[in-house]
């Protein structure tokens, strides 16, 4: 049985494909990254950035999903998630082992019956932490391994949340000397979708204490690959 991430856009195909070894690819022909959302840069772009997704089940051969055909999977099937790979770059520098960047999977605040993404629940199902001091200053794939396989239910909305440990300036015009960018695209034609439901990216605003997308708009999709 192959399990994939239900993220579909008109220019992203093969989102449910596995390579036969348990790796579930986001897309086979993803466009070049052209937009980033900073993690821990300012009071607006606070310590956390999140991308919503839905796990889908597929059996037999690798399908070629489309916005109209995706999302037909029934719930209740678990995907054993073993790693997540994201496209990141480092701005500035961190001393070795001084700070951390944590990847966590969280449910939606509306619970397992949610049909439209709201915000991350704030409760991590599981986490993986890396030292960002070794990250490249160029856009690079970074893999967060999970210590043990964890199940995610097919058809349920989840959020991948990246959280930095470094201090975030509280002043309205303050900018951190060092932070991490999460890369993706900003285009209405490459939005992640499931049965017409847009799966947005959001950032944690320090001033309001809530996840929002006012500063990035509604057309941002952040790249990641789930290993399952």
pLDDT tens across 183-214, in order? 999 988 878 877 677 889 999 999 899 999 99
Average pLDDT value for residue range 19-27:
41
DSSP helix/strand/coil, 21:
coil
Which of the four pLDDT bands, split at 50, 70 and 90, describes residue 144?
A: very high
Q: Does the CA dihedral 58-59-65-71 come out positive or negative?
A: negative
Mean of pLDDT over the chain: 77
CB 138 within 8 A of CB 33: no
**In the numeric block, which tokens belong to residue 47?**
């310590």
Residue 215: the pLDDT is 94
Which of the four pLDDT bands, split at 50, 70 and 90, describes residue 94?
A: very high
Q: What is the pTM of this model?
A: 0.82
Residue 56: the pLDDT is 64
The helix/strand count (H/E) of the chain reads as: 0, 16
- Per the listing, tokens 């399908």 go with 63
Q: For a pLDDT cut of 70, what percent of the chain falls above it?
A: 74
DSSP helix/strand/coil, 190:
helix
Which of the four pLDDT bands, split at 50, 70 and 90, describes residue 26?
A: very low
Greater model confidence, 93 or 191: 93
Q: Spell out the residues 6+ positions from residue 202 whose beta carbon is closer than 8 angstroms to its own.
A: 49, 50, 52, 119, 120, 211, 212, 213
Closest among 1, 148, 161 to 78, alpha carbons compared: 1
Domain count, the chain: 1
Domain interval for residue 202: 2-227
Alpha helices in the chain (DSSP H): none
Greater model confidence, 10 or 152: 152
Residue 97: the pLDDT is 96
């Amino acid at each position: 049985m192959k399990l994939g991430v239900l993220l579909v856009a008109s220019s992203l195909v093969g989102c449910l494909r596995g390579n036969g070894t348990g790796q579930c690819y986001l897309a086979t022909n993803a466009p070049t990254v052209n937009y980033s959302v900073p993690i821990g840069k300012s009071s607006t772009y606070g310590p956390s950035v999140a991308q919503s997704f839905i796990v889908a089940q597929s059996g037999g051969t690798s399908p070629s999903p489309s916005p109209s055909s995706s999302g037909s999977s029934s719930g209740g099937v678990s995907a054993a998630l073993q790693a997540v790979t994201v496209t990141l770059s480092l701005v500035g520098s961190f001393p070795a082992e001084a700070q951390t960047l944590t990847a966590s999977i969280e449910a939606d605040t509306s619970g397992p019956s949610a049909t439209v993404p709201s915000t991350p629940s704030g409760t991590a199902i599981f986490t993986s932490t890396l030292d960002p001091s070794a990250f490249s200053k160029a856009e690079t794939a970074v893999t967060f391994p999970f210590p043990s396989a964890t199940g995610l239910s097919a058809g349920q909305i989840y959020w991948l949340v990246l959280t930095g440990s470094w201090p975030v300036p509280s002043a309205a015009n303050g900018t951190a000397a060092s932070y991490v960018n999460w890369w993706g695209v900003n285009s209405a034609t490459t939005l992640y979708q499931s049965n017409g439901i847009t799966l947005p990216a959001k950032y944690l605003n320090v001033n309001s204490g809530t996840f929002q997308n006012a500063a990035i708009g509604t057309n941002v999709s952040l790249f990641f690959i789930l290993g399952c």
